[in-house]
Amino acid sequence: MVKGVLIIVLAAAIVFGGYHLIKENKKLETEISDLSKRLETLKREKEEIMEQINFFKQPENLLKAVKEQFNYHEAGEHLIIIIPTSTSAN
């Protein structure tokens, strides 16, 4: 009788432990999936940043960006704005 109770208690402990391990495993799999997605996002961001760095390493590209964004011009340079004439078909 004592052996039967002991076997039942051990079986219950094993089942409970197994359930806990399965639950923890699912939690860890979800976390791994989330981290993998984040890693891919960071890799794409790194690629984009590296492309920008390589682009701006070229002095002519950097100068062009500065001129476009900050309306910068070098001494002796003049800005010409060309506005196309509109053609309306009325």
Q: What is the pLDDT along the chain (90 residues), one digit of tens a residue?
A: 888 889 999 999 999 999 999 999 999 999 999 999 999 999 999 999 999 999 999 999 998 898 888 878 888 887 777 888 887 665
Q: Are 65 and 56 in contact (CB under 8 A)?
A: yes
Q: What is the C-alpha to C-alpha distance for residues 27 and 32, in angstroms, rounded to an integer?
A: 9
Establish if 39 belongs to a structural domain: yes
Establish if 48 belongs to a structural domain: yes
Note the pLDDT of residue 90.
54
Q: Smallest Cα–Cα separation from 46: which of 58, 35, 38?
A: 38
Q: How many domains does the chain have?
A: 1
| CA distance readout (Å), 67 to 11, 63, 81 | 76, 6, 14
Note the pLDDT of residue 70.
85
Establish if 79 belongs to a structural domain: no
Question: What range does the domain containing 46 cover?
Answer: 10-70
Establish if 27 belongs to a structural domain: yes
Structural tokens at position 32: 């791994």
Establish if 85 belongs to a structural domain: no
Note the pLDDT of residue 52.
95
Establish if 58 belongs to a structural domain: yes
Establish if 21 belongs to a structural domain: yes
Note the pLDDT of residue 89.
60
Q: Are 30 and 36 in contact (CB under 8 A)?
A: no
